[in-house]
Amino acid sequence: MATIYDVAKESGFSVATVSKVFNRYSGVNDKTREKVLITARRIGYVPIQSAQTLVTKKSWLIGVIFKEDLNQGLIHPHFGGVLETFKLEMEKSGYDIIFINRNFSNQNMRYLEHCRYRNVDGALLASSTLPQEEALAIHHAGIKCVSVEKNYPKIPTVISTNHEGTMNALKYLYSLGHRRIGILNSPIGSLAGYERFEAYKMFLKKYNLPYDPNIVSICDTYTDEEGLIKAKELVNKSKNNLPTAIFAGYDKIAIILQSYLISIGISIPNDISIIGFDDIEIASISTPTLTTLRQYRAEIGRKAADLMKRQLNNEKIDTSEIFRIPTELIIRESTCRARIIERI
């Protein structure tokens, strides 16, 4: 492979000059620059990143810490969508994306080790299981962080308006006449799950509706199996007095719930209305199609990339509040007006 020395020799200038050309320094004669560039192209010179990194300490690499219960990884409909736009935006500025994992060694702090091993300039935290301690260690190592999942002190977070979204969903159900609204929620260990559940409780208070544990089920993990178990649990607990509507913490679980209810002879939405959260592709294809809160994944990814770039340019970022991306209520077939009988 051609090195900077080859370009220097061939063009008749020194390596210092060639380096300056490639790093867009000002103090280079235009003719010199042109000659160097032509020579470089002719002999197929490409600067080697590892050599650059060694001296500049800048790798142009962004680590992605991306791991959840499901091990769905890249195909995860929500995070995969966020990541796609984040990646595109970072690539525009010359950064490449690399996945950080825990295979690196057998100690703790493995994510941090992996980050240092690869010298990443920044890290996108998109793991529902990354402990605060590890996140902060990465931050303190001088690696610029942005989170799109949990909220860590001093690290900017980009996430949907879970509270408002959930409120809107519940108000919509209320407007349809529903007064007995259950919840099948995502794990409250995740920020999204926590905020949605808090919104649920606040809604009940605000509208003077009783909190009935018999129509509340909360998952501990995001697996399909657990989703089904909790869906059944919810039905069993309330079988003498089923809710007329159920808010499901995310679309996947809404679909699981819907299928289960249909399988035991409950009609959706006539007997029970269902509302999800995410608006993943399946939501518009399932039967009935799912009323849900759309998350703007591309917007989240774009905002995260923006915050990342600004930090990489050493701008100060306000980390005192979470950056929110609005959600939108998408009304489809899984919700309808509560039957009058319910209100007697």
State the binding string over 230-269 for its own copies (x if CB under 8 A, else -).
-------------------------x--------------
- Count helices and strands (H / E) in the chain: 12, 12
Among 38, 54, 285, 331, binds DNA (CB under 7 A): 54
Among 4, 83, 146, 256, binds DNA (CB under 7 A): 4
User: Residue 67, SS3?
Assistant: coil
CB nearer to its own copies: give 107 or 208. 107
Q: Return phi, psi of residue 288, to 5°.
A: -70, 160
CB nearer to its own copies: give 69 or 198. 69
β-pair partners for 291: 275
CB nearer to its own copies: give 16 or 74. 74
* Contact (CB, 8 A) for 119 and 53: yes
Site for its own copies in 51-90 (CB under 8 A): 51, 53-54, 59, 61, 72-75, 77, 80-81, 83-84, 87-88
Verify binding: residue 48, DNA, rule CB under 7 A.
yes
* Contact (CB, 8 A) for 170 and 232: no
CB nearer to DNA: give 25 or 211. 25
Verify binding: residue 285, its own copies, rule CB under 8 A.
yes
User: Residue 36, SS3?
Assistant: helix
Verify binding: residue 214, DNA, rule CB under 7 A.
no
CB nearer to DNA: give 117 or 211. 117
Helices (H), the chain: 4-11, 15-22, 30-43, 49-56, 77-92, 110-117, 132-140, 162-175, 191-206, 224-237, 251-263, 297-312
Token readout for 117 is 């091993």
Q: Which residues bind DNA (CB under 7 A)?
A: 1, 3-5, 12-17, 19-20, 22-23, 26-32, 45-48, 51-52, 54-56
